[in-house]
A and B are shown apart, each in its own frame.
Chain A
Amino acid sequence: MQQYSGFGLFKHSLSHHENWQRVWRNPIPKSHYDVVIVGGGGHGLATAYYLAKNHGITNIAVVEKGYLGGGNTARNTTIVRSNYLWDEAAQLYEHALKLWEGLAQELNYNLMFSQRGVLNLGHTLQDMRDIERRVNANRLNGIDSEVLNTEQVQQLVPILDCSKNTRYPILGASWQPRGGTARHDAVAWGYARAANALGVDLLQQTEVIGMRTQDGVISGVETNRGFISANKVACVTAGNSSVLANMVGLQLPLESHPLQAMVSEPLKPILDTVVMSNHVHGYISQSDKGDLVIGAGIDSYLGYGQRGSLNVLEHTAAAIIEMFPIFSRVRINRTWGGIVDTCPDACPIISKTPIKGLYFNCGWGTGGFKATPGSGHVFAHTIAHDNPHPLAKPFSLDRFISGQLIDEHGAAGVAH
């Protein structure tokens, strides 16, 4: 694999950048793989990369019906943080955040990972009590987290309306300095390039239309390019996880909803951190290009259409203007939707299934992007050892039967 560097950039400029190596191969599917990963988004590609790198399994195919990183990886609002309430979730997301911190160097790919800090605002006394509880829980788990008062919030974000005359006055916030944003596409591309270099076949335009099992053991996937046999099949397909599970007669505790987001026209730098509010229901950051990246909650109804209703976007915009009156004249450039698979407890499922050799990593709902490296890392371990990684163990499918749910609605909320 060609290493990227400043010197390389200079060298290639001498030949007008016409001789760059292709970032990954476009191979013809083999008839058999040790592991087939269904879904070529960030989580799937990360899984392939860690399987090859940490577990020595390189006969892997990543099967993607569209193009790599074209689903929710391309549609999220790129926020990374780990300030979750419960130990299980906090440790999983913190594991991911620690991987993020060295990832660009490891993958030799510029992920534009920017630890600009994440603010979660509180607007009521109850909000502030919840924030204090969550910050204390975070600190016990070794996660950087602080409670800020209104003055400190105002100092961090001068353009935020912290006056007392607003409908929902800002009483304070939780602050995670190590949180931030990353370039979403680059994460998929970086993992794809690194996995490809380790021998993983990335099969784009290859849609899984069925799965074969024999005596309760998975034997491969039917695709639009023919049958591919596999010892293990790992599904990382977010909103379409229920559809895949149905192919083998499984039902999952998931509901797929549209989640919308939007970006404004590019502006000069004005907001150098991430601001989220569960209470007025919106969150915002500014990309390196200058666009304001804005999001909020899901559309309430089930939907696979990658679009939602306009009234949801209207509420989101109203929430942002409530917090940032200065943005009232900013024009919105684009809006879009992705399909998120939500779990009853707002936590993911990283699990074996009743079918031997079939694994699911799904249910990340509205907050999967931040977990991409950690999710791939623990899922690869789970697949390689046919036994859950210690961090993934609490997130098994069994928890819905045993009742050991990990209720992260408070820390997940709107805030992704």
Chain B
Amino acid sequence: MLQIHCPYCQEYREEEEFSYAGQAHIERPSEPESLTDQEWAQYLFFRKNPRGLHHEMWYHIHGCKQFFNVCRHTVTYQIISSYKIGDRPELEQSKAVDKESINAN
């Protein structure tokens, strides 16, 4: 089970308190009516789904009820950092780190 640090509660809590809310940093198009079908599909359905570091949203549903972001490795499941909505991720996706961790796995 994952131990997730909620940046609002400032505490590590068990995964069961949270609900997963998908890829982070997806911006809602500011002018949806001007999008092509392709661009709209991209926004709605197409995801990075990386084998490596992933920035994702979690919802502290049985806690403070806040959404926040987590940077997690999708092979080792190791959580690198968690940060509030609107903050910049501490660690940008880095291929070097990715490869190293996958090999270690």
Contact, CB under 8 Å: A253 / B45: yes
User: How would residues 67 to 105 of chain B score, 1 for a CB under 8 Å from any chain A CB and 0 otherwise?
Assistant: 000001011110000000000000000000000000001
From B20, B37, B49, name the one whose CB has the most chain A CB atoms within 10 angstroms: B49
**Given known contacts A401-B38, A402-B37, A303 and B49 CB-to-CB distance under 8 angstroms:** no
Minimum-distance CB pairs A-B, first 10 = A300-B20, A253-B45, A242-B49, A401-B41, A309-B1, A301-B20, A400-B45, A400-B41, A304-B51, A251-B46
Task: Give the tally of cross-chain contacts (CB within 8 A).
Answer: 66
Does A197 have its Cβ within 8 Å of any Cβ on chain B? no
Residues on A close to B: CB < 8 A? Answer: 240, 242-243, 246, 251-256, 300-305, 309-311, 344, 400-403
**Given known contacts A251-B46, A254-B47, A254-B49, A301 and B16 CB-to-CB distance under 8 angstroms:** no
The smallest beta-carbon distance between B13 and chain A, in angstroms, is: 13
List the B residue with the shortest CB-CB distance to A345: B45
User: How would residues 30 to 71 of chain B score, 1 for a CB under 8 Å from any chain A CB and 0 otherwise?
Assistant: 000000011001101111111100101000000000000000
**Given known contacts A400-B41, A402-B37, A256 and B56 CB-to-CB distance under 8 angstroms:** no
Contact, CB under 8 Å: A240 / B51: yes
From A242, A254, A401, name the one whose CB has the most chain B CB atoms within 10 angstroms: A401
How far apart sit A251 and B23, CA to CA, in the bound complex (Å)? Answer: 14
The smallest beta-carbon distance between A149 and chain B, in angstroms, is: 36
How far apart sit A282 and B76, CA to CA, in the bound complex (Å)? Answer: 27
Contact, CB under 8 Å: B75 / A311: no
> Which residues does chain B contribute within 8 Å of A400, judged by CB atoms?
41, 44-46
List the B residue with the shortest CB-CB distance to A241: B49
Binding site secondary structure of chain A: loop
> Which residues does chain A contribute within 8 Å of B2, judged by CB atoms?
301, 309
The smallest beta-carbon distance between B100 and chain A, in angstroms, is: 15
Contact, CB under 8 Å: A302 / B54: yes
Contact, CB under 8 Å: B49 / A302: yes
The smallest beta-carbon distance between A314 and chain B, in angstroms, is: 9
Cross-chain contact of B56 among A251, A254, A301, A311 (Cβ < 8 A): A301
Contact, CB under 8 Å: A309 / B41: no
Contact, CB under 8 Å: B37 / A302: no
The smallest beta-carbon distance between A409 and chain B, in angstroms, is: 14
How far apart sit A253 and B75, CA to CA, in the bound complex (Å)? Answer: 20
User: How would residues 1 to 38 of chain B score, 1 for a CB under 8 Å from any chain A CB and 0 otherwise?
Assistant: 11000000000001110011010000000000000011
Contact, CB under 8 Å: B51 / A243: yes
Contact, CB under 8 Å: A305 / B76: yes
How far apart sit A150 and B41, CA to CA, in the bound complex (Å)? Answer: 44
Starting from the known contacts A301-B2, A302-B49, A309-B2, 17 additional A-B residue pairs (CB-CB under 8 Å) come to A242-B47, A242-B48, A242-B50, A251-B46, A251-B47, A253-B41, A255-B22, A255-B49, A256-B49, A301-B20, A302-B56, A305-B77, A310-B1, A311-B1, A311-B14, A311-B15, A344-B45
Contact, CB under 8 Å: A252 / B76: no
> Which residues does chain B contribute within 8 Å of A254, judged by CB atoms?
47, 49
> Which residues does chain B contribute within 8 Å of A305, judged by CB atoms?
74-77, 105
> Which residues does chain B contribute within 8 Å of A301, judged by CB atoms?
2, 20, 56, 72
Subset of 22 A-B contacts with CB under 8 Å: A240-B51, A242-B47, A242-B49, A242-B51, A246-B50, A252-B49, A253-B46, A301-B72, A302-B49, A302-B56, A304-B51, A304-B74, A305-B74, A305-B76, A305-B105, A309-B2, A309-B15, A310-B1, A311-B14, A311-B16, A401-B38, A403-B37
> Which residues does chain A contribute within 8 Å of B14, judged by CB atoms?
311
Contact, CB under 8 Å: A251 / B48: yes
How far apart sit A344 and B56, CA to CA, in the bound complex (Å)? Answer: 17
How far apart sit A402 and B36, CA to CA, in the bound complex (Å)? Answer: 11
How far apart sit A240 and B19, CA to CA, in the bound complex (Å)? Answer: 24
**Given known contacts A310-B1, A401-B37, A300 and B47 CB-to-CB distance under 8 angstroms:** no
Contact, CB under 8 Å: A304 / B45: no
List the A residue with the shortest CB-CB distance to B38: A401
From B19, B47, B75, name the one whose CB has the most chain A CB atoms within 10 angstroms: B47
List the A residue with the shortest CB-CB distance to B36: A401
The smallest beta-carbon distance between A344 and chain B, in angstroms, is: 5
How far apart sit A254 and B49, CA to CA, in the bound complex (Å)? Answer: 7
The smallest beta-carbon distance between B58 and chain A, in angstroms, is: 8
The smallest beta-carbon distance between B38 and chain A, in angstroms, is: 6
The smallest beta-carbon distance between A358 and chain B, in angstroms, is: 17
The smallest beta-carbon distance between B84 and chain A, in angstroms, is: 19
> Which residues does chain B contribute within 8 Å of A253, judged by CB atoms?
41, 45-47
